[in-house]
Structure 1
């Protein structure tokens, strides 16, 4: 017998349409601060406070006063849960309509109390984030003033700039810690023996034979396949990298180690006229926005900048994704509100795109390059095409995320959800691996 008044999941909104996903971007610096970029929700604590507590189901004016402490709220919620357990244990399967109504009323009261706790916690997080921001700003100002005295002005680090530019109205973004990625090295086949290694799997097997973590004391966090039959080894510290480079068995196995160069940053330029050719777009981007402001020639700019994707819209405009040098990206982000392309004024922002395979529902590749033999449903994570799912129309349907199910994470959400833990992990990894300069 269900204890909660379950409502059918609204599947009318197609989660696989890119336009329905929250636009993601790494933390921006300079003028282009975007409060919605890294916040998991667009609802701020200030907007939550406008909700009437009496509107919550099962919560009357006398049950939970707004001035109660969080400790009192937790105790009250615990008391309702105790009553629920007593009712269920005493009645068992003999729950009639009246008792079922009583149970539902108590569960709704607990839900309202938890909502109020979340509201109080969100307000506290906002105050804490603002305090941390102010302390950091005061610390940087103090350091700058001391350095000015001795004539040595030091700029804030990129991580400090991120924290200073975080909006105060988004506690999730403002309180976010900027992590440093773990050091890593990439193993590739040597040019003399490259014919022996046809794939990253072969490189991985040779690498695992050449290295004995137990005997050599290696702390390898993970292995990941990459292009050109390479394998990325992520370790705990830089000393581990030096130890790996001194292992003679790696060279004798026909492998070489290289430090990864990192992913170049990308920006997405919007509102570009659809009739504009790529060559004309690149020339306009350089001559109208970079030529008189940076010491780089047009030939070098065009050689170092790559168009990685395009999206043509129905309104005579298109979006163009660019991969460019960190210095150029930083100049545009810090000095431009919009980019001028011919007669058009174009919006732009950092471009972080996490692709998802519509066949196996995993992140990092598209269906065209999927190696799985069978399809996986984006609704229930079972072995059939998403369009053929019949479970998603049932009243008691509960979604299952295929990516999170595979990695044993909480999976009670649809594949492709912006709040998916697997998606957030991939997004964070992509940002950490990008060299923003």
Structure 2
């Protein structure tokens, strides 16, 4: 059969198919339908559209269309335009223009979608701002969604504050001596099942009692209200629970404005009315009247919204408002070497040397032996923060032959392997009840490395405390040796590495820091130090690593 006859047969057959489709019946052309493609007139591979017909397809068999830019650039016929006819060139140019028009339509559609997305984003920001303003004016509203829910470093370190009871002595009933912890236990009848105080602090005629059990606050108040003096008058004029305050810090405030700052803040910020308890100075820049001021809010939502705004208005000026961070709050007294207060407010009657821990000022010390007087406050810090596990480097101990740790808080057990060089060693303290329930096993074998295993929930958790001297020139091998011998799938490491790296907030990274970073990658350890963007002041000497294989 010639090509012309084949073409006519196909046309006839296509007409039969079309008529059968219109009539809703299948063509009767035998058991099998055979379609042949003529060599001289190839059919287009473009699929039929919904409004096209077979006749139109047969009348335009060579309709050219480019699907993408590659099909244009890889068209070999375009490199030989001189050999192409005018109709072919026109067809190719039309196909290219169709492709450009299609792309233009797609770009226009994308621009429209992008504009809609921008409008939707702007609407969401406006809605969020309006909800924040509603929260700002309504103290009973839920916390602002924009604030982070991740616990701060201060919350993680201090855990949960115990309740404090504030008792004011009646006129003429204040004892001559300061109220001690033993005296408060007698007043609360702790020896016969009464509430147990954990600490007592007295300022003038006011006593602050911190209780171990939050549920005892009401019972302790009732007991103290029933106490009478020799004249059968009540010993205390008022007893109340210390209000829970939420602090924020205003930076670089003119301290001359401090006396009227509280009233000014309430006047300039309507949402602060009745929400500010007090305003106190915490820092003064040397040679200037500028300083930092702590603002105590009695409402958490108001404080959070103020922090979200980032600044406060007063006296026709503004000041940056930031979160109170635990590292900024740590203060050391240079009189008694204790923490939590400064020398100006120290209540100690005698000074304590920061070098030898004797009863004289540090500047007057002539001793040769250097001791860490600050560690004498270790028990107070541990008990105040209710810590279970404490990783210590450079501990303070007595005796060379058999070092004994100083001032271990009651109810804790120490794990270490200290020797004569205990000043450069490492120690781990574990709460005794936790050590017993978790079957603690010591893995300490070196002076500068302390390790302990705690078993819980069918798993073994290993805690490692490690110290590396600044004079150690081969610290990389020290780390590798310790990690190879002690690392387990669940390990927490606290280390005073004396190396600098931006991973734990050093300004620069030294060679030792680069080596330690490579070691951390090899052993798949994660750095738990908070980054600098969160404004946590972490010393570059310390780092905490977590190993989870």
- Shorter-chain TM-score tier: 0.3 to 0.5
The alignment's TM-score, normalised by the length of structure 1, stands at 0.41
The alignment's TM-score, normalised by the length of structure 2, stands at 0.34
Structure scoring higher RCO (CA < 8 A, sep ≥ 6) equals: 1
Q: If you compute each CA radius of gyration, which structure gives the higher value, 1 or 2?
A: 2
**Higher share in helix:** 1
